[in-house]
Amino acid sequence: MTTADPPKALRKNENKTQPTNLSPNDFIASLADPRQRADCAILLARFSAITDWPPQMWGPSIIGFGHYHYRYDSGREGDYFRTGFAPRAKNLTIYIMPGFAPFASLLAELGKHKISQSCLYITKLADIRLDVLERLVIESLSIMRERYG
């Protein structure tokens, strides 16, 4: 271990997904699936307009917007993006960091989707209402502002 290396305990608790200097536009252009390229270009434009933050790659495949610092009761802390999206093999993943509990009515209007804790999965943008997705992102960012400033 060099003096620049953090202690092993800190490395173990770091987020695996960190911001990079990769270009979101280059990443989108490199996608093999033409529909995913087109959908991601639309999402990039919409998220940029909604958030007014520049897009940033987080790890090799997530395009994030904004950032926040979190600290858990356990003492673990770190930084992460406030919202974002990532193309995956079978779907697009959209990150709604506060989770979905406050958004049942919006999800009912959204269209074909699945969710997990903070991830919204859609196969293609044509399956959903983009205006509802925009409202979902805007409202989730409002909650993030309340929680993290």
Average pLDDT over residues 117-132: 98
Strand residue runs (E) in the chain:
55-58, 62-65, 68-71, 77-80, 83-87, 92-96, 114-115, 119-122
Model pLDDT, residue 106: 98
Joined together, the tokens standing for residue 17 give 């997904």
Model pLDDT, residue 75: 82
- Please write the tens of the pLDDT for every residue from 27-37: 999 999 999 99
Q: What is the CATH number of domain 34-148?
A: 3.90.1150
Tell me the whole-structure pTM to 2 decimals: 0.87
Residue ranges in 18-129 assigned as alpha helix (H): 24-29, 34-51, 104-110
What are the sequence ranges of the domains in the chain? 34-148
CA gap 116, 118 in Å, rounded: 6
Tell me what the pLDDT averaged over the chain comes to.
Answer: 90
